[in-house]
Structure formats: C-alpha cells, structure tokens
Amino acid sequence: MIALVVLAVAASIAANSVVQMALGVGLVVAPGERRGGRFLAPAAAMALSGFLSWPLFAYILAPFSLGFLEPLLLFPLASLASVVADRIFSGRDANRGSGSAYSAFGGLAFGSAWLALRLSSGMLEAAVVSISCAAGFLGSGFLLDKIRYRSLIEPVPRALRGVPLALISAGLLSLLSTFVAAAAFTALGALR
C-alpha cells in the first residue's frame, strides 16, 4: 500500500514536470471562455492513454520485443485516447476542431502513457500512475490558470504577463510540490 502511495505522489510530480516543460503551458495561458473546463479533456486523455497502454504493451505486444520502436506505437494510442476524450468532454465547443487532440494535447497523453509503461509492473500500478498523472496535471493547470487570471485583473508588469508568468509560476509550483513529495515520502518511510 505504501508503494502505491509513493507511486501516486511520484506520478503527480512527474505530471507537474510535464506541464513545466511547456507541453501543457499552452493550455494554461491560452485565453478561453471555459476557464477550468479545458483541462478535463487532456486529463481524461492522460488517464485513458496510460490505463490502456499498459495491457497493450504488457500482454499483446510483449512477445514482439519492440525496444526503441515502442514509443512509435505508443503515440498513436495516446492520440486515439486524446481524440476520444476530446469528443466526450468538448461537446459542442468551438475549439473542438483545433487539432490539439490529434497531437495528444501537445504530448501530455503520450507522457502519461510512457510513465505508466515505465513505472508500473501491474495493472493496479498502471491505473494509479495514470490517475495520478491526470490529477497532477489538473492541480497544476487549475493553479496556473488562476494565477494567469489574477494577473489580468491585478497590476502585473506587461513583460511578465502570459507565458513568462506561467513559467515562473510553474517553477515555484515545482519547488512546492517537490517539498510536499519529500515530506510525504519521509512520512511514509520511503526516504531514509
């Protein structure tokens, strides 16, 4: 049980680093009418692609020993999960045909699927990694979106608005989440 909690914390921190690497910052700084709702489809795609990738690569494609070709097959699976999640959560949104789902939301779903493959050795662990990646992205996305929104209504230097403020905020969020992860790991006895 402790190993699953450690895995969940590590996966949520990894999702924060995926956002910090600017793969998901475009979703945060982009102006939108559905302020918080635009994070649901990428988070669902992250959970779905990570959850589906493990049984596919562990059972069906395992005898083929694909090696470095594995990510080439993993990206279409992540894109398919992204398109399905986009169709479910977007509804009649005007931005539905923008194509970001076809790129697996800028690589977010691919990152979640790759982490699920590399960090898990069973279906339960793959589910924990996938859901934790999605939760880490949702937490980071909502927090960075709130910071972006507050920067529009409060006096912030013009040079810091938009992407620079999001990157600075993501760096501070990374420091905070690393501290929280270290405290959680110490409390669970994982770090000695």
Residue 87 has what pLDDT?
80
Is residue 180 in some structural domain? yes
Is residue 78 in some structural domain? yes
Q: Which residues contact 31 (CB under 8 A, 6 or more apart)?
A: none
- CA distances 161 to 16, 40, 71, 166, 174, Å, are 21, 24, 35, 8, 19
Residue 40 has what pLDDT?
80
Residue 192 has what pLDDT?
55
Is residue 42 in some structural domain? no
Is residue 138 in some structural domain? yes
pLDDT in tens, 17-70: 655 555 555 665 565 545 556 778 788 888 888 888 888 887 877 766 767 777
Residue 14 has what pLDDT?
66
| Domain encompassing residue 151 | 6-24+49-188
Is residue 34 in some structural domain? no
Longest dimension (CA), the chain: 59
Is residue 44 in some structural domain? no
In single-letter form, the type of residue at position 48 comes to: L
Q: Check if the beta carbon of residue 41 is closer than 8 Å to that of residue 101.
A: yes
10 Å CB burial of residue 131 (0-12, 13-18, 19+) is: buried
Is residue 37 in some structural domain? no
Residue 1 has what pLDDT?
66
Q: What is the mean pLDDT of each run of 10 residues along the chain (192 residues)?
A: 72 63 56 61 83 81 71 80 80 56 70 78 82 80 78 79 72 73 70 55
Is residue 176 in some structural domain? yes
Q: Check if the beta carbon of residue 126 is closer than 8 Å to that of residue 54.
A: yes
H/E element, 47: helix 40-55
Residue 108 has what pLDDT?
73
Residue 113 has what pLDDT?
81
Domain count, the chain: 1
User: Cα separation of 134 and 168, whole Å?
Assistant: 22
Task: Find where tokens 């934790």 sit.
Answer: 132
pTM confidence score: 0.72
User: Cα separation of 101 and 28, whole Å?
Assistant: 15
